[in-house]
């Protein structure tokens, strides 16, 4: 264990996969190193499981599914609530593990644990609000009833940028619905997943209900999940490219699928915006998690009348942002997750500046070295730049100047993606007009932060399928069954 990671409860640092209620090493004893992106230190060696272990976990989930589905919603709710309480009791440790393995500032990590538990809490309640229907029968001697039933075993694959919340957002509704699961966390952040498994064990979930399998061979593990007939649903958050693979692989067994994929979010600032609100919203949306979220604003369209004032105010705030190790006091931006992520940022900046973009602040690797990058504001962005069509996934605000509302909307919609979109204006009719015109799953005005368990989270077009959280989230894990009774 890394010397820098000191936990109140060291038993939360689990390093083996959680299969059928037991923490188990990979059969051949293979492990992989989990590193702290702030300093490259190895935090722990974790079980490097593979396709066979996924298959074992599916066996366990399949064995558990009938008895779990037969529990009452109230019983499931009580265990979920226990899990929620244990997460909150251990928030400091969960946040420390999260910061150590992915680098986000500790305060942000705590925010993520609260966000993560909000889904457990919410679905503990939603479990008890699943209702079927009694229909008006078209026949005098037949009754028509609609049942909602758990879909069965589901496979979940999660990313590194929200190592806690992306797990609870998928597992809680599924478990609440009466399903059992096999989850593969991102290889960069297995420790947050295993800490959640340990707390789930303590909460009293029966064995096999939640299985978490760690490992480096994501393609083989994903393939096994997709190919198995017993897995009736796949839920995935990650890149559009991997989403396509999973969808293709699920075709043979006709699985239900939920995908939360790339974003390329626009953020539009109209002349009639409140400048302070727009700058604060832009910072909240852009620089959270060092720009490494799929709802981070990737393209900022700023109307010509407010453009220069907005640039000056944004650049001033961004230049003050403290970059460093997430455990350091006052740090608001940690390292980029890995070299690959860092290289993409450099590539986007080089491409943009070669095509006429102007760096107002930042634009270079941070003097701290490693994968730290300067918070950046770049003006003069144009549609031929890579950062127009691809997510930078880093702390780079790219500003495009525009004159007319319709031009900003057309540019904002000119992407294969459609996850989150933001805009700032104080004109109420424009709020309705623009909200309706933006082809996104989530359209947000006059704020940069909106995620919560209450709102349906998800995208359109290449940003995905299905919605997570909210009153709609549990339906993704249920089948609708028509029950007809004749001769009555
Ligand atoms: P990112 O670029 O954010 O790492 P990915 O889509 O590559 O996004 O990763 C998200 C999750 O998908 C991780 O858990 C990763 O291990 C997993 N993954 C990557 N490739 C595949 C694949 N071919 N099949 C299944 N899962 C995969």
Is 277 close to ligand 1, i.e. is its CB under 6 Å away? no
Average confidence (pLDDT) over 275-292: 97
User: Global pTM?
Assistant: 0.98
Please determine, for residue 102, whether its predicted confidence score (pLDDT) is greater than 80: yes
Strand (E) or helix (H) holding 92: helix 91-102
Is 242 close to ligand 1, i.e. is its CB under 6 Å away? yes
Q: Of 194, 234, 242, nearest to 214 (Cα)?
A: 194
Please determine, for residue 158, whether its predicted confidence score (pLDDT) is greater than 70: yes
Rg (CA), the chain: 23
Quickly state the pLDDT bin for 1 (edges 50, 70, 90). very low
Please determine, for residue 2, whether its predicted confidence score (pLDDT) is greater than 80: no
Most ligand 1 atoms within 8 A of CB, residue of 34, 48, 49, 159 to mutate:
159
Question: What does the pLDDT look like over 184-210, one tens digit per residue?
Answer: 999 999 999 999 999 999 999 999 999
Residue 141 to residue 151: CA distance in whole angstroms: 30
Please determine, for residue 453, whether its predicted confidence score (pLDDT) is greater than 80: yes
- Ligand 1 atom 3, closest CA: 238
Average confidence (pLDDT) over 139-160: 98
Residue 15 to residue 45: CA distance in whole angstroms: 7
Most ligand 1 atoms within 8 A of CB, residue of 190, 193, 212, 218 to mutate:
218
Question: Tokens for 269?
Answer: 């600032």
Residue 101 to residue 87: CA distance in whole angstroms: 18
Compute the 3-state secondary structure of the chain and give helix, strand, coil in percent, each to the nearest 5. Answer: 40, 20, 35
3-state class (DSSP) for residue 306:
helix
CA distances from 305 to 60, 185, 310, 403 (A): 61, 46, 10, 8
Judged by average pLDDT, the poorest of 3-7, 108-112, 323-327, 450-454 is 3-7
Residue 123 to residue 79: CA distance in whole angstroms: 11
Write the DSSP symbol of residue 276. H
Question: Closest ligand 1 atom to the C-alpha of 242?
Answer: 6
Average confidence (pLDDT) over 274-284: 98
Judged on CB neighbours under 10 Å (0-12, 13-18, 19+), 235 is buried
Residue 10 to residue 399: CA distance in whole angstroms: 45
Question: Closest ligand 1 atom to the C-alpha of 341?
Answer: 2
The Å distance, Cα 238 to ligand 1 centre, comes to 6
Strand (E) or helix (H) holding 148: strand 143-150
Residues 421, 402: contact at Cβ < 8 Å? no
Residues 255, 232: contact at Cβ < 8 Å? yes
Residues 210, 184: contact at Cβ < 8 Å? no
Name residues whose C-beta falls within 8 Å of residue 296's C-beta, 6 or more positions apart in sequence. Answer: 263, 265, 285, 286, 287, 288, 289, 391, 393
Neighbours of 467 (CB within 10 A): 20
Please determine, for residue 4, whether its predicted confidence score (pLDDT) is greater than 70: no
Question: Tokens 């538990």 sit at which residue?
Answer: 117
Q: What pLDDT is recorded for position 432?
A: 98
- Across the chain, mean pLDDT equals 97
Q: What pLDDT is recorded for position 278?
A: 98
Write the DSSP symbol of residue 415. S
- To the nearest whole percent, how much of the chain has pLDDT over 90? 99
Average confidence (pLDDT) over 375-401: 98
The Å distance, Cα 222 to ligand 1 centre, comes to 9
Question: What does the pLDDT look like over 317-353, one tens digit per residue?
Answer: 999 999 999 999 999 999 999 999 999 999 999 999 9
Question: Known catalytic residues?
Answer: 260, 294
Please determine, for residue 170, whether its predicted confidence score (pLDDT) is greater than 50: yes
Residue 381 to residue 352: CA distance in whole angstroms: 7
- With b for 16 or more beta-carbon neighbours within 10 A and e for fewer, the 366-390 pattern comes to beeebbbbbbbbbbbbeeebbbbeb
State the pairing for strand pair 420-424/442-445.
Answer: parallel
Q: What pLDDT is recorded for position 466?
A: 98
Task: Please give the domain boundaries of the chain with CATH numbers for all domains.
Answer: 10-261+463-483 (3.40.605.10), 265-452 (3.40.309.10)
Please determine, for residue 254, whether its predicted confidence score (pLDDT) is greater than 70: yes
Residues 112, 103: contact at Cβ < 8 Å? no
Is 219 close to ligand 1, i.e. is its CB under 6 Å away? yes
Is 218 close to ligand 1, i.e. is its CB under 6 Å away? yes
Please determine, for residue 175, whether its predicted confidence score (pLDDT) is greater than 60: yes
Residue 346 to residue 139: CA distance in whole angstroms: 67
Question: Closest ligand 1 atom to the C-alpha of 237?
Answer: 10
Name residues whose C-beta falls within 8 Å of residue 354's C-beta, 6 or more positions apart in sequence. Answer: none
Residues 378, 349: contact at Cβ < 8 Å? yes
State the pairing for strand pair 231-237/153-157.
Answer: parallel
Question: Tokens for 45?
Answer: 């060696």
The Å distance, Cα 27 to ligand 1 centre, comes to 23
Please determine, for residue 10, whether its predicted confidence score (pLDDT) is greater than 50: yes
Question: Tokens for 32?
Answer: 């992989």
């Amino acid at each position: 264990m890394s010397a820098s990671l000191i936990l109140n409860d060291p038993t939360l640092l689990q390093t083996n996969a959680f299969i059928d209620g037991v923490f188990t090493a990979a059969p051949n004893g293979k492990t992989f190193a989990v590193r702290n992106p702030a300093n490259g230190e190895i935090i722990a060696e974790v079980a490097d499981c593979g396709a066979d272990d996924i298959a074992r976990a599916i066996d366990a989930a399949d064995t558990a599914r009938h008895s779990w589905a037969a529990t009452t919603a109230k019983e499931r709710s009580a265990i979920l609530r226990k899990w929620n309480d244990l997460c909150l009791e251990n928030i400091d440790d969960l946040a420390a593990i999260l910061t150590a393995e992915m680098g986000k500032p500790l305060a942000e990590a705590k925010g993520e644990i609260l966000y993560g538990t909000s889904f457990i809490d919410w679905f503990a309640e939603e479990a008890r609000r699943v209702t079927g229907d009694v229909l008006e029968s078209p026949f005098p001697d037949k009754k028509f009833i609609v049942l909602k039933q758990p879909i069965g075993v589901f496979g979940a694959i999660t990313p590194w940028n929200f190592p806690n919340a992306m797990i609870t957002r998928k597992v809680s509704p599924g478990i609440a619905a009466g399903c059992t699961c096999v989850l593969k966390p991102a290889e960069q952040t297995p420790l947050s997943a295993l800490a959640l498994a340990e707390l789930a064990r303590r909460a009293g979930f029966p064995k096999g209900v939640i299985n978490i399998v760690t490992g480096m061979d994501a393609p083989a593990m994903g393939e096994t999940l997709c190919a198995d007939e017993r897995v009736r649903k796949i839920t995935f958050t990650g890149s559009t490219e991997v989403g396509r693979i999973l969808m293709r692989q699920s075709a043979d067994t006709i699985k239900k699928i939920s995908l939360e994929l790339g974003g390329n979010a626009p953020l539009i600032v109209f002349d009639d915006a409140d400048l302070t609100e727009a700058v604060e919203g832009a910072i909240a949306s852009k620089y959270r998690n060092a720009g490494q979220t799929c709802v981070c604003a990737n393209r900022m369209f700023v109307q010509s009348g407010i453009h220069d004032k907005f640039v000056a105010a944004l650049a001033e705030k961004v230049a003050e942002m403290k970059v460093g190790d997430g455990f350091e006091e006052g740090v608001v931006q940690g390292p980029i997750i890995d070299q690959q992520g860092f290289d993409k940022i450099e590539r986007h900046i080089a491409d943009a500046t070669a095509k006429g973009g102007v760096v107002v602040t930042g634009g270079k690797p941070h003097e701290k070295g490693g994968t730290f990058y300067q918070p950046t504001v770049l003006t003069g962005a144009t549609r031929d730049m890579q950062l127009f069509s691809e997510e930078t996934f880093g702390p780079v605000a790219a500003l495009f100047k525009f004159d007319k509302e319709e031009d900003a909307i057309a540019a904002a919609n000119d992407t294969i993606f459609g996850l989150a979109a933001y805009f700032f204006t104080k004109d109420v009719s424009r709020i309705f007009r623009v909200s309706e015109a933006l082809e996104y799953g989530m359209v947000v005005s006059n704020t940069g932060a909106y995620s919560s368990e209450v709102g349906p989270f998800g995208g359109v077009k290449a940003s995905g399928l299905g919605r997570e959280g909210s009153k709609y989230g549990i339906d993704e894990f249920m089948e609708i069954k028509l029950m007809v009774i004749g001769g009555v």
